Amino acid sequence: MKRREAFKMFLKPGFEDEYQRRHAALWPEMKELLKETGVSNYSIYWDKDTNILFAYQEVEGDAGSQDLGDNPVVKKWWDYMADIMEVNPDNSPVSIPLDERFHMD
């Protein structure tokens, strides 16, 4: 059974275009890892007034995209993105889970 997950992250000011560019060229190995893990229907939205990134994904399995920090591909991606996002000491993005309050099929 798939579950829906949403979370927010924080983009550093001035890196809006760079963030878009990097995700437009998402590494094939990252995309494959997410699919193999059961992550699908993954979207990230940008609020230009706050520089908050809102992410939504559907997950089948135990781990969403934010749970893959032990994978070398993910660690490499985090390092690649660390200069344009707010990150934790291990370069993982500061990510705050959001509770679902309404859903309509």
Q: Is the pTM of this model over 0.75?
A: yes
Arithmetic mean of pLDDT, 87-91: 97
- Torsion angle (degrees, nearest 10) of CA 80, 85, 90, 92: -90
Catalytic residue among 2, 4, 21, 23: 23
pLDDT tens-digit series, residues 21-74: 999 999 999 999 999 999 999 999 999 999 999 999 999 988 788 888 899 999
Is 103 among the catalytic positions?
no
Q: Where are the alpha helices (DSSP H) in the chain?
A: 16-24, 28-37, 72-81
